[in-house]
Amino acid sequence: MSITIEDVKKNVAYKQLPIVILDERWHRLFPEKDKSPEVKRLEKNLGTLLKRQGQITNDLKALRKIKSDIMKEIIDKYPEVMERAKKAMEALDIVPELVPIRGGTDGSRLSFMGLPCPNIFTGGYNFHGKYEFTVISYMELACKTIIEICKC
């Protein structure tokens, strides 16, 4: 059974379809000769945008890796900074969990300027999203950790 453009028009009349078909079925469903110049133009523009989106996604991944590597280099030059943070946490019976993060924070900006600033926990979750929240008891522990760091 072959589906024609007329079949599709009948079935979607007065309906909005929030989909974009981009696979090989699109091209079988709507032969090139049946596409209006506007549809051809939009397909071409969409293809260009999708290629750009893919390149931007790859570029962002590469940038995150570079920033993370640079942050690691900076922090590795000053091992005493991490040792102070670990000692402060251990003094409060907190088990340090060392997780590398990418740059982009205020601490990374200061680190790039010569003041090494590893991130410590804040008690927050889901940062910069609509489900962001803070656990007050964890935030209090973060404050106590900072005070302990200052004592070292």
Answer yes or no: are the C-beta atoms of 35 and 73 closer than 8 Å: no
H-type alpha helices, the chain: 5-12, 24-29, 37-77, 79-91, 106-112, 136-151
Answer yes or no: are the C-beta atoms of 116 and 74 closer than 8 Å: yes
Q: What is the pLDDT of residue 143?
A: 94
Q: What is the pLDDT of residue 142?
A: 93
Return all residues near 152 (Cβ < 8 A) that are at least 6 apart: 84, 87, 88
Q: What is the pLDDT of residue 22?
A: 60
Q: What is the pLDDT of residue 102?
A: 58
Encode the chain (152 residues) as per-residue pLDDT tens digits.
566 777 767 766 656 555 555 666 666 667 777 788 888 888 888 888 888 988 999 998 998 888 888 888 888 888 898 899 999 999 999 998 887 665 566 777 888 888 888 778 888 888 888 899 999 999 999 999 999 999 97
Q: What is the pLDDT of residue 83?
A: 92
**Prediction pTM value:** 0.56
